[in-house]
Every structure is written in C-alpha cells, then in structure tokens.
Amino acid sequence: MKRSVSGKILSEKEKKKSAEKQGAKNNRFLITVNVLGSAGPMRFVVNEEENVKGVIGTALKLYAREKRLPVLGSDVSDFFLYPANAGSEALSLTESIGSSGARNFVLSKIQKQPQMTEARSLIKRKGNGSKLKAWLNKSFSFNVLLSPQKCGGVRGSTDF
C-alpha cells in the first residue's frame, strides 16, 4: 500500500508532537560530578526525575569505565552526593536529582571507622613495636645534638 505524500507528512508531524510531549515529561540535563581525589570532573546527561541513587550508580559506572584513580568500588550506599555550590547537606538517595536545582555535584565516599576486632585489640595491648623502635633509635643514633655541652665544645663555638 502506498501512502500519499501528505499522509507521510502528517505522520511525521504526529511523531514530532509525541516526541515533544515525551520531552516535556522527561526533561534531561547535563550535570557535572567531581569525585574527591580524582583528576577532573565527569559530565553526563541525566533525567530530571531520576533519583540520586541512580545518578551515583551512573557516575560510578562511568568512573570505572574511564579507569580513573583512585578505584572507588561500585556500592552506591558507600557514597554521598553533595551539590557543589550549596550548603554542606548531602542529597538523600531517594530524592530526585532535579529537585536540588543544582547542575554541579561532588561525590565523596563515606569514611567508615575500622571495627575493633578481638585480634586487633590484643595487638594494640601488647605493643610489639616498642622493641623495634628502641633498636632503630639505638642503631641509627637518632639523637640530635641539642646543646654544645653534649659534643664537648664551648657554647658559641663552631668546632665539632
């Protein structure tokens, strides 16, 4: 079946209108994410309704794909996303990225405190490093000349 030229034009116009309607629903914009400790920012396009968790996941995938250093990992819950020019409040993982109104963000890893295990606490109590420290101090004579009396000279003299 052949369509007339006017029929083709009408169908193209309908496609454009439906695309415009979808575009109005799904606003996309370019964001910049700086990762603490990394060389430079990452830029990528996100959907306005996408939640922060999804944006962090996208940033981590892009970061790994570009083989950037330091290696961060892939667990989204280990990271905070902050607006770069706003206060120091991290965005909630469930809120949409468009709600912050920002386009520049900072991604930082959550600092986890090492847990004190039983073996670790025993090592801490024993203090095994004190013998090594004493040997190093004795071997390398880390004693710094503090006064001229220790080296047998007269105060103010430059003879050693």
Q: What's the CATH code of the domain at 14?
A: 3.10.20.770
User: Which residue range is the domain that position 73 belongs to?
Assistant: 5-109
H helices present in the chain, as ranges: 5-25, 52-65, 118-126, 129-140
Tens of pLDDT, residues 70-79: 899 889 999 9
Question: Which tokens belong to 93?
Answer: 């993982």
Sheet holding 104-109: strands in order across? 42-47, 28-35, 104-109, 79-83
Tell me whether residue 89 is in a domain: yes
pTM: 0.58
Q: What average pLDDT does the segment 40-68 reach?
A: 95
Tell me whether residue 150 is in a domain: no
Tell me whether residue 136 is in a domain: no
